[in-house]
């Protein structure tokens, strides 16, 4: 992967690993060769800056959404913010890199000085006439394409290499010419050959769509037998394919590349036609710019020692403005789905149980309470065997909130009206009515509604009567709630809120200490209520006496 995170800045060029991008917030793409797009896919969801041609190819081939692609005109300067408030900005200028369609160099100017990132490029003297480079600017850092930065590697110019290819084709006038190329690049060479030999160049439909955007001569077609020059994928140039082609028609293959390739068939010819700058060209380029430092893009091939005599004195490292530092340390403006989900889960939820002061009604006799209790037990649809109750009931699904709710019998009664879809749990000892209300719809399962018990609400019951709370105290439930599985009115099993469940409800939250087991919470609840129970017993004994 050929990409860089520029130090002391939020800039990343040809770098698409968000896990390692760290403080990078501005992402730039030089061109669409695969070694510069590693990690870039249709899931990319951050602003990305590139040339218009690269923007088109990026959307068509990698399906990156157009909403994230920012196409910048080549040869023009663009001002981009370096923080969230627009206090710090930088100027970026795109310069034609003379490498492949859409390839550009980026010239960054800001608080960090002036940085030129060449990407892959083939130097020509006309580059030094670019307005952005002719204003006497001091290049502080030059990120240089050092692919061919080797004094021992003697490469011809592209004009010389193209002439060699023309001479080779002329020596084989009766042959089909297969030219092995990568998915992008050397389209101008194909145009030159077509005009030289007055023949169509046969391309794949995918490549034909691309060349139609470049404004080249109308010499390309997708018809297989229309011309004698065929552009094919470089991987097709192999021994087996050469044997197959020569069975039907005499064929030679040409690989225009400066890479070392093992020739497996006598009909394969490697011509050193390169889209990367030669060593002598790089020397001329650096000598003309005289940057303060040269940083190689291909890290496995150090080249800084070759340009020591062409460098200007180094400058001090710039300080990062506070607003930029905050921007770099903040999270991205367009977080991923998992980041949003994590934030949603951490959000404080609505209090599950709300207490109101119980009405004072302490004059009812114990006999009245016992009689009401007996009547309620007679209408209960489940005779106390909670193991037969539906496992999807919300009160049992929230066992972690009420640890003993499923293990103890209920003494209170539950009643509701089918027509009004309301639920009221009557708790006799403290005169509470517990209404079950649905919780946050964003976390509900539409099939099971398992979260429905989390937002329970406790309100006072009517004084002295056993009626269900009505009016504003009703909690209307959806028809899909598991509480309404039959068409006739029914009721839920009763339990004694005098048990551990009610103790959980009545225990102050600040009394609990952080633990990760239900047993420790049970012990803390019992510890809190132990002195209260002792006090109640003493009061009862004094009343008996």
Average pLDDT over residues 35-58: 94
What's the pLDDT score for residue 280? 94
Helix axes 158-170, 187-197, angle to 10 degrees: 40
Q: How confident is the model at residue 357 (pLDDT cuts 50, 70, 90)?
A: very low
**Which residue has better confidence, 475 or 370?**
370
What's the pLDDT score for residue 85? 86
What's the pLDDT score for residue 34? 87
What's the pLDDT score for residue 511? 62
**% pLDDT > 90, the chain:** 46
Residue 136 has pLDDT above 80, yes or no: no
What's the pLDDT score for residue 461? 39
Q: Please state, as a whole number, how many other Cβ atoms lie within 10 Å of the Cβ of residue 433.
A: 23
pLDDT digits (tens, 9 = 90+) for 376-389: 444 444 434 444 44
What is the DSSP pairing of strand 77-81 with strand 89-96? antiparallel
**What is 245-262 written as a DSSP string?**
HHHHS-EEEEEE-SS---
Residue 457 has pLDDT above 70, yes or no: no
Phi and psi, residue 62, nearest 5°: -105, 0
Q: How confident is the model at residue 496 (pLDDT cuts 50, 70, 90)?
A: very low
Residue 11 backbone class (left: φ over 0; alpha: ψ -120 to 50; beta: rest): beta
Q: How confident is the model at residue 501 (pLDDT cuts 50, 70, 90)?
A: low
Q: How confident is the model at residue 285 (pLDDT cuts 50, 70, 90)?
A: very high
Task: Locate all alpha helices (DSSP H) within 270-311, ordered by sequence.
Answer: 279-289
Of 491, 489, 272, residue with least CA distance to 376: 491
**What is 530-541 written as a DSSP string?**
HHHHHHHHHHHH
β-bridge mates for residue 61, sequence order: none
Answer positive or negative: Cα dihedral of 144, 147, 152, 154: negative
Tokens linked to 78: 């663009």
Among the ranges given (210-219, 230-239, 329-338, 424-433), the one the predictor scored with the smallest mean pLDDT? 424-433
* Alpha carbon distance 460, 469 (integer Å): 8
- Spatial neighbors of 1 by CB under 8 A, at least 6 apart, are 14, 15, 35, 36, 38, 39
| Buried b or exposed e, range 386-415, using 16+ CB within 10 angstroms | beeeeeebbbbbbeebbbbbbebebbbbbb
Q: Scanning the structure block, which residue is given the tokens 């889960």?
A: 345
Phi and psi, residue 11, nearest 5°: -100, 135
Among the ranges given (120-124, 316-320, 528-532), the one the predictor scored with the smallest mean pLDDT? 528-532
* Alpha carbon distance 185, 178 (integer Å): 16
Average pLDDT over residues 206-227: 89
- Number of helices followed by number of strands (H, E) in the chain: 13, 21
pLDDT digits (tens, 9 = 90+) for 314-323: 888 778 999 9
Q: How confident is the model at residue 24 (pLDDT cuts 50, 70, 90)?
A: very high
What is the DSSP pairing of strand 104-110 with strand 89-96? antiparallel
Q: How confident is the model at residue 346 (pLDDT cuts 50, 70, 90)?
A: low
Tokens linked to 30: 């030089």
Q: Scanning the structure block, which residue is given the tokens 């004694």?
A: 496
* Alpha carbon distance 5, 37 (integer Å): 14
What's the pLDDT score for residue 398? 36
Residue 134 has pLDDT above 60, yes or no: yes
Of 495, 144, 489, residue with least CA distance to 305: 144
What is the pLDDT of the chain when averaged over all its residues?
74
Q: How confident is the model at residue 413 (pLDDT cuts 50, 70, 90)?
A: very low
Q: Which of 365-379, 399-413, 474-488 is the most confident on average?
A: 365-379
Whole-number CA gyration radius for the chain: 39
β-bridge mates for residue 230, sequence order: 178, 202
- Spatial neighbors of 412 by CB under 8 A, at least 6 apart, are 376, 425, 426, 427, 428, 494, 495, 496, 497
End-to-end CA distance of the chain: 89
pLDDT digits (tens, 9 = 90+) for 390-406: 444 443 443 343 344 33
Domains of the chain: 4-151+278-329 (3.60.15.10), 158-271 (3.40.50.12650)
pLDDT digits (tens, 9 = 90+) for 64-109: 999 999 999 999 999 999 998 889 999 999 999 999 999 999 999 9
The three-class DSSP label of residue 244 is: helix
| Buried b or exposed e, range 438-474, using 16+ CB within 10 angstroms | bbeeeebeeeebbbbbbbbbbbbbeeeebebbeeebb
What's the pLDDT score for residue 383? 39
* Alpha carbon distance 34, 40 (integer Å): 9
Q: How far is CA 282 from the centre of its chain?
A: 38
**% pLDDT > 70, the chain:** 62
* Alpha carbon distance 434, 355 (integer Å): 10
* Alpha carbon distance 445, 533 (integer Å): 40
Q: Which strands make up the sheet holding 432-437, listed edge to edge? A: 413-417, 422-427, 432-437, 455-460
Q: How confident is the model at residue 451 (pLDDT cuts 50, 70, 90)?
A: very low
Q: How confident is the model at residue 423 (pLDDT cuts 50, 70, 90)?
A: very low
């Amino acid at each position: 992967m050929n990409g860089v995170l520029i130090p002391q800045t939020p800039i990343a060029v040809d770098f698409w690993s968000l896990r390692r991008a760290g403080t990078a917030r501005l992402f730039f793409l030089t061109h669409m060769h695969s070694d510069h797009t590693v990690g870039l896919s249709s899931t990319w969801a951050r602003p990305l800056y590139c040339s218009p041609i690269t923007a088109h190819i990026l959307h068509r081939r990698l399906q990156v959404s157009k909403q994230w692609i920012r196409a910048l005109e080549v040869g023009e300067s663009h001002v981009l913010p370096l923080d969230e408030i627009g206090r710090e900005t930088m100027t970026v200028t795109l310069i034609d890199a003379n490498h492949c369609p859409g390839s550009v160099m980026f010239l960054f100017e800001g608080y960090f000085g002036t940085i030129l990132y060449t990407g892959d490029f083939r130097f020509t003297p006309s580059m030094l006439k670019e307005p952005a480079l002719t204003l006497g600017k001091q290049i502080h850092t030059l990120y240089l394409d050092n692919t061919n930065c080797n004094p021992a590697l003697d490469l011809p110019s592209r004009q010389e290499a193209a002439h060699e290819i023309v001479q080779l084709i002329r020596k084989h006038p009766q042959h089909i010419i297969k030219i092995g190329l990568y998915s992008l690049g050397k389209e101008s060479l194909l145009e030159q050959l077509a005009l030289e030999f007055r023949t169509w160049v046969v391309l794949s439909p995918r490549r034909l769509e691309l060349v139609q955007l470049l404004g080249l001569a109308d010499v390309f077609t997708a018809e297989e037998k229309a011309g004698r020059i065929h552009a094919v994928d470089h991987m097709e140039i192999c021994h087996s394919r050469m044997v197959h082609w020569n069975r039907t028609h005499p064929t030679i293959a040409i690989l225009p590349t400066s890479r070392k390739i093992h020739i497996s068939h006598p009909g394969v010819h490697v011509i050193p036609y390169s889209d990367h700058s030669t060593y002598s060209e790089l020397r001329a380029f650096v000598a003309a710019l005289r940057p303060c430092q040269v940083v190689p893009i291909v890290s496995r091939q150090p080249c800084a020692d070759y340009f020591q005599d062409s460098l200007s004195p180094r400058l001090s490292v710039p300080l990062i403005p506070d607003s930029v530092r905050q921007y770099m340390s903040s999270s991205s403006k367009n977080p991923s789905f998992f980041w949003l989900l994590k934030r949603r889960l951490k959000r404080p939820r609505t209090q599950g149980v709300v207490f109101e002061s119980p009405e004072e009604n302490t004059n009812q006799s114990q006999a009245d309470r016992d009689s009401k209790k007996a009547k309620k037990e007679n209408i209960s649809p489940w005779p106390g065997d909670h193991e037969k109750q539906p496992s999807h009931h919300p009160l049992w699904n929230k066992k972690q909130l009420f640890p003993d709710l499923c293990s103890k019998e209920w003494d209170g009664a539950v009643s509701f009206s089918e027509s009004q879809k309301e639920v009221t749990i009557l708790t006799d000892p403290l005169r509470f009515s517990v209404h079950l209300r649905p919780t946050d719809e964003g976390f509900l399962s539409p099939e099971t509604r398992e979260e429905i018990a989390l937002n329970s609400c406790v309100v006072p019951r009517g004084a002295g009567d056993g009626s269900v709370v009505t009016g504003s105290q009703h909690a209307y439930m959806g028809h899909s709630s598991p509480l309404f599985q039959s068409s006739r009115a029914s009721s839920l099993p009763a339990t004694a809120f005098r048990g551990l469940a009610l103790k959980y409800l009545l225990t102050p939250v600040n009394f609990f200490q952080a633990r990760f087991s239900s047993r420790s919470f049970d012990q803390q609840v019992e510890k809190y209520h132990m002195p209260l129970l002792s006090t109640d017993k003493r009061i009862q004994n004094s009343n008996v006496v």
